[in-house]
Amino acid sequence: MIRFQRLAQAATFGIFVCLLIVAWYPFPEGLPVAFFLRLDPLIGLGTIVASRELSAYLIPDLILALTTLFLGRYFCGHICPMGTTLDMMQVPFASRRRRSLKICTYEASSPYRNLKYWGLVMIVGAGLAGVSLIFLGSPLSLVTRFYGLAVYPIILLASESLLQVLSQFAGTFPDMAYLQFHQKVFATNVFVFILFLGIAGLAWIQPRFWCRNLCPSGALLSLFSRNPLVKRTVSDSCNRCGLCVSECPTGAISEDPEKTVHSECIVCLRCKEICPQSAISFSIRGTVTPRFVSAHDPTRRGIIWALCSGLITAGLFRTSVNQPKPIDRERALVDGELIRPPGALPEPDFLVKCVRCGECMKACATNTLQPVWLKAGLEGLFSPVMLPRLAACAVNCNVCGKVCPTGAIRDLTLIEKNHAKVGTAWIARENCLVWEQDKKCLVCDEVCPYNAVSFRPVSERRNAVPFVIANRCTGCGWCESKCPVEGTSAIRINIIGQMRLAEGSYVEKAKEYGLLFRANDNSMDGLAPGTFDIPGGIDPVD
C-alpha cells in the first residue's frame, strides 16, 4: 500500500509542475501559477521586513504559519516541492552504509541543526537594513529556479531530439512534420544545476540534510511547531525496538523512542506506519499524554553573530559601487545595459522584492529574460534582465508580471505594459552596414513594432541611413535582436529614458512625457499586430 505521505507529495508535486508548465504565453488568466512561492514563509517574512510593507501576496504565508500551530511542520513533509525533490534524489545520493541506531537519534544528529536558525536570523538582519537575501535560502525559490532554468530547457532539448527521430515516420504521421519545441537557453543554468546537486548530495551525510540543518523556512516553521495541537504520541505498548528512530527522515526522535522533538518532526507518519506494536499515533493534545524532549536552541551568542553577519552583509552591499541607492552620490553607477522587464519596480524596490525564483524568465515568451551575474552587483545576483541581442520583448505578452509572486514586476495590462519604456535604442555607426560601409540595409526599420527607426538621406552616402526616434522607442529590442551584423549589434538598447513606476499609470506618464507609442501592424513581431486595439483597452497616446 502506498503511504499517505507519498500520495500527498505526488499530488502536490504534480500541481507544482503543472503550474510551472502553464506559466507561459498565452497565460491562463486567473490561474495562481505562483501559489507555491507564496506559501514559502521565508519569502513572506523576508519581503515584509526588507520592504517595510504588508501585501496581499503574503496572505498564504500567514495561513500556513497559523495551520502549523495546529498540525506541526506538515508543509515540509507533504507539500514542499523542495522536500519532495530531495526525497526523490535521495535514492541515488544517500549513503548505502547501514546506519546504526545510535547515530539516528536526535541527540546524535543535532550538531548542524542551529545552522538553519542562524541563516534565518542573518536573512532577517539583512532585511532590517533593507537588503534582501531571501534568494539564498528560500527553498521554493531554489527549487523553482532549478526546474525552470535548468531542468526545463533539458526537457525541451530532449523532446526536440525525440521529435527529430520520430520525424522519420512523417510519412505515416504527416502532421508530425509541423511539430516543434521552442528551445530555451539560460545563463547560470549550469551553476544552478550543480548547486542543487550539491544540496541533494548532502543526503550522503544525513537524509534530508537541507531540511534538517540548512533550510531557513524550515527554521521559521519550527518556531511555530514547537508544541503543535496534533503531535506524535507513543503508548505504553512500545517495546523500544528503535525501528522508528532509524527510519525518521529528520532525526526528530530521541534516544528514548517515546520522546519527540516536535519542532523537527515533519509529520511524515513513517514511524506510525512501520511500528510493529501500533504504539504510535498522531493525536490531538489531551487524548494521550505526549512525552517530548526540548530542542537544542541556538545560543544567544550565535543569534547575535548571525544578526551581525546579516547587518554587515547589508552594509557591504550598501557601500558597493553598484548600489542602486548610492550614499552621498548624485546618481548610481548603473550598467547601461541593465534592462529590467517592463513593469519592474524602481531598482531599490525591485531588488528588495525580487526573490530570484526564475518564474518570469521561464515564462518569457521570447526567452529574452535572463538571470544576471554581477552586472547589478552582488545584491542583484540572479535577478532578471532583458538580453535584447538574444531575443526581443514580445509586444503582445505581459506574462512576466502575472507570474511574479511578490509584485517585483507589476501585473500590467497589455496597454500599460507596452507604455512601460525600458530603454531607448541607439546606433553604433561604426558597426552599422549603412553608416560604415554604405550598404543597403533596412532590417531595423522593418522589424520595429513602433516605427521608431527612420531612414533619411545624408551627404556622402548613397543609401539612406537609420536614425532612432527616441519618443517612439520603448526599448523592446526587436531591432537589436534582428540586426544582421555579426557579433555586437549595430543598434543597441540602453536604459536611457526608462520608466519604472512603483504605482500609477504608464499610459498617463507617457502622455506627460510626450511619448508616441503606436504599434505597427506590419511588424515582424508575430505578437505585435492589434496590441493597441484590444477591446476595452486604453487608447494609444496621440
- Answer yes or no: do 88 and 234 share one domain: yes
Q: Is residue 440, in this structure, part of any structural domain at all?
A: yes
Q: Is residue 542, in this structure, part of any structural domain at all?
A: no
Rounding to the nearest 10 degrees, give the CA dihedral for residues 312, 313, 319, 325. Answer: -120
- Answer yes or no: do 470 and 378 share one domain: yes
- Answer yes or no: do 106 and 244 share one domain: yes
Phi, psi of 384 (to 5 degrees): -80, 140
The strand pairing partners of 328, in sequence order, are none
Domain termination site, one of 262, 292, 322 = 292
Angle at 410 between CA 404 and CA 412, to 5 degrees: 110
- Answer yes or no: do 430 and 521 share one domain: yes
DSSP 259: E
Q: Is residue 52, in this structure, part of any structural domain at all?
A: yes
The pLDDT value given to residue 154:
94
- Answer yes or no: do 406 and 488 share one domain: yes
Per the structure, the complete domain to which residue 272 belongs is given by 4-292
One digit per residue, the tens of pLDDT, for the chain of length 542 reads 567 888 999 999 999 999 999 998 888 888 889 999 999 999 999 999 998 888 777 788 888 988 999 999 999 999 999 999 999 887 776 655 556 677 788 888 777 888 999 999 999 999 999 899 999 999 999 999 999 999 999 999 998 888 877 777 665 566 666 677 788 999 999 999 999 999 998 888 888 899 999 999 999 999 999 889 888 888 888 988 888 988 898 888 988 888 888 999 999 999 999 999 989 988 885 444 455 555 567 788 888 999 999 999 998 888 887 777 666 666 777 888 899 999 999 998 999 999 999 999 999 999 999 999 888 888 889 999 999 999 999 988 999 999 999 999 999 999 999 999 999 999 999 999 999 999 999 999 999 989 999 999 998 889 999 999 999 999 999 999 999 999 999 999 999 999 999 999 999 999 998 888 876 654 444 544 333 333 333 343 33
Q: Is residue 84, in this structure, part of any structural domain at all?
A: yes
- Answer yes or no: do 256 and 380 share one domain: no
Residues whose CB falls within 8 Å of the CB of residue 312, separated by 6 or more in sequence, listed in order: none
Any idea which residue has 507513543 for its cell?
Answer: 234
Q: Is residue 338, in this structure, part of any structural domain at all?
A: no
DSSP 324: S
Q: How far is CA 113 from CA 38, 107, 116, 119, in A?
A: 25, 11, 6, 11
Q: Is residue 540, in this structure, part of any structural domain at all?
A: no
pTM of the model as a whole: 0.88
- Answer yes or no: do 151 and 264 share one domain: yes
In this structure, the strands spanning 424-427 and 491-494 are antiparallel
- Answer yes or no: do 255 and 371 share one domain: no
Q: Between helices 216-224 and 114-128, what is the axis angle to 10°? A: 100
Rounding to the nearest 10 degrees, give the CA dihedral for residues 332, 338, 341, 342. Answer: 60
The SS3 call for residue 414 is helix
- Answer yes or no: do 352 and 283 share one domain: no
- Answer yes or no: do 363 and 278 share one domain: no
Domain count, the chain: 2
Cβ pair 444, 453 in contact under 8 A: yes
The SS3 call for residue 491 is strand
Phi, psi of 425 (to 5 degrees): -75, 150
Q: Is residue 10, in this structure, part of any structural domain at all?
A: yes
- Answer yes or no: do 288 and 353 share one domain: no
Tell me the DSSP string of 124-177.
HHHHHTT---HHHH-HHHHHHHIIIIIIHHHHHHHHHHHHHHHGGGTTTSGGGG
Domain termination site, one of 292, 311, 335 = 292
Cβ pair 140, 43 in contact under 8 A: yes
Q: Is residue 309, in this structure, part of any structural domain at all?
A: no
479-492 residues labelled b (16+ CB within 10 A) or e (exposed): bbbbbeeeeebbbb
- Answer yes or no: do 153 and 236 share one domain: yes
The strand pairing partners of 299, in sequence order, are none
